[in-house]
Amino acid sequence: MERLWAPWRAQYVASFTRADQMSECFLCAAAKSAREHDRELLVVARWESCFALLNRYPYNSGHVMVAPYRHVGEMEELADAELCELMVRVREVLRALKSELSPHGFNVGLNLGRAAGAGLPEHLHIHIVPRWHGDTNFMPVLAEVKVVSQALEEVYERLHAALHGGS
């Protein structure tokens, strides 16, 4: 039997234990942090009522989450202005991802509630996952290993610049 090593998965699995022990959700921590910590926390943009950050454990290169600053778990809890800005900013992130990474398509969505797959059901967030033809292959299907083709730091630099007016 051939072994495929993916040591980053150990950090990912351990993150679930840490999340259960955290006194504050990671989205709230990122939202409240000072801007000088944005790179470390992978926050690529901040706006009036929401912000965007790279997923530290991405499904694909450029996997971004857009979340309201407020800690709410249900769409109905958002004010109309928050909901509107959330969607406008998702559109802005899509444009930046198209410009910087040239994906062939996207998966965009929310997992509302633990039964729907939400890892953090108390703080809703919209996932934006760039997709390319052929990015699903035997690795995740047979080996439970996902190959992510770009470093988080590189994607951060490109998206941060695109979302702040320069590429």
Q: Which position among 63, 125, 127, 160 bears the catalytic label? A: 125
Three-state DSSP class for residue 156: helix
**Torsion on CA atoms 138, 110, 56, 147, rounded to nearest 10:** 10
Quick check: is 125 catalytic?
yes
Q: Which alpha helices (H) appear in the chain, and where do they start and end?
A: 8-21, 26-32, 38-41, 80-101, 138, 152-163
How many Å is the Cα radius of gyration of the chain?
A: 16
Please report where in the chains the tokens 């633990």 appear, as a residue: 114
Residues 6+ apart with CB under 8 A from 115: none
Q: What residues are labeled active site?
A: 125
